[in-house]
Amino acid sequence: MTEMVYGAIPVRDGEPVVPKWWRTVDKLTLACVLGLFGVGLLLGFAASPPLAERNGEAPFYYVQRQAFFGGLALSAMVITSMMTPATVRRLATIGFAVAFVALAALPVFGTDFGKGAVRWYSLGFASLQPSEFLKPVFVVVAAWMMSASQEINGPPGRAYSFAMMCVIVMMLIMQPDFGQASLILFGWGVMYFVAGAPMLLLVAIAGLVVLGGTVAYESSDHFARRIDGFLAQDVDPTTQLGFAANAIREGGFFGVGVGEGRVKMSLPDAHTDFIIAVAAEEYGLVLVMIIIALYATVVLRSFSRLMKERDPFIRLAGTGLAAVFGVQAMINMGVAVRLLPAKGMTLPFVSYGGSSLIAGGIAVGMLLAFTRTRPQNQIVDLLAGRGR
């Protein structure tokens, strides 16, 4: 009866890994991610040549690098999605320890590449941003702690996850990296809400966030400048927000034409943080709506499948991963249209960036692993702690 209600496909003993994966994985989500990566390459051909020329590189240098890192990201996604939830949890725990140490060591060994925030390690041939890899593994580890706290005589997992989240957020704010800090806080908050947090506690946490934002505004010139620029009545046309707003306005419904856009000549981050402005100018509202639809499909499809899941850990981890994925896309596009203050945040699978692409591939691979069709355990099995 459980399988009839939840639509689970019975597992065949001895079935090879790849056929079993293909039969149980969410193919629509997989197709949407591939579509986003394809759009990213398409926009890379338009946005990156001016930057390559300024840096003395071949015209499609950054496109080739994006294709390389994208190939690694998609490979990581597929491999991770073939794992069982228990294996994902174990590897995420190890990955969290490594990423946390790497984040903590940034003030000593990291670099800012002249951008004023120490967020990267320079590897010579590429750069590494630990916070990108910390996001998905933190979500999984925090979900594990929260689900463990729901068991009889379980540990105080919610308190542990809260303390861990606070430490990570403070480390990110010190860089400063308010964008990644807000994503970590949001992902934890969504999982805490789904786990059944008291409403009064959530209101208190929201109040602390507002208080923290006020303190950051008063003490950080970097943060204050971005807030002031967002609240200003008029946008300086020579700023990144000004160039992006003008590009979106010029694009209209169908765009100015492939290769005819001008914003890529002016924006230093046209291939990363403001890639949606390039899409809007050259391809118009049509492509922007397609991109939004792809992100919305991934998130809503994942939530739909997770609603059928009875394992608390899988439900919490999957919800956190899907929420962070969707909100990161919303923040990136919201900045471009001036709905949100400027943040250095990439558009998942579309923007250029090795760390962002590979970490995104791992995150979506985890999400696909959690949303794969599987027989649901009976409630008595879950209460007894069996079937995990």
* C-alpha–C-alpha distance, residues 83 and 25, integer Å: 11
pLDDT per position as a tens digit, 357-385 = 999 999 999 999 999 987 765 444 445 55
Average pLDDT over residues 192-204: 82
Could you tell me where the beta strands, DSSP code E, fall in 66-161?
121-122, 127-128
pLDDT of residue 44: 87
- DSSP-assigned letters across all residues of 280-344: HHHHHHHHHHHHHHHHHHHHHHHHHHHTT---HHHHHHHHHHHHHHHHHHHHHHHHHTTSS----
Percent of the chain with pLDDT over 90: 45
Mean pLDDT of the chain: 85
* C-alpha–C-alpha distance, residues 303 and 271, integer Å: 30
* C-alpha–C-alpha distance, residues 388 and 380, integer Å: 13
| pLDDT-derived band at 139, boundaries 50, 70, 90 | very high
Q: With H, G, I as helix, E, B as strand and everything else as coil, classify residue 168.
A: helix
| pLDDT-derived band at 387, boundaries 50, 70, 90 | very low
pLDDT per position as a tens digit, 332-360 = 998 888 888 777 788 999 998 889 999 99
pLDDT of residue 65: 92
| pLDDT-derived band at 118, boundaries 50, 70, 90 | confident
Other beta carbons within 10 angstroms of residue 39's beta carbon come to 20
* C-alpha–C-alpha distance, residues 118 and 106, integer Å: 7
Q: With H, G, I as helix, E, B as strand and everything else as coil, classify residue 165.
A: helix
pLDDT per position as a tens digit, 239-298 = 777 778 788 888 888 888 777 777 777 777 777 788 888 889 889 999 999 999 999 999
Asked, as a colleague might, if the bond just before 155 is cis with ω within 30 of 0, I would say: no
* C-alpha–C-alpha distance, residues 127 and 120, integer Å: 6
- DSSP-assigned letters across all residues of 16-46: -HHHHHHHHS-HHHHHHHHHHHHHHHHHHHH
Phi/psi at 122 (5° precision): -90, 120
- DSSP-assigned letters across all residues of 230-291: HH-SS--TTSHHHHHHHHHHHHTTT-S-TT--SHHHH-TTTTTTTHHHHHHHHHHHHHHHHH
pLDDT per position as a tens digit, 303-313 = 999 998 889 99
pLDDT of residue 270: 72
* C-alpha–C-alpha distance, residues 300 and 322, integer Å: 8
More confident call, 1 vs 260: 260
pLDDT of residue 38: 94
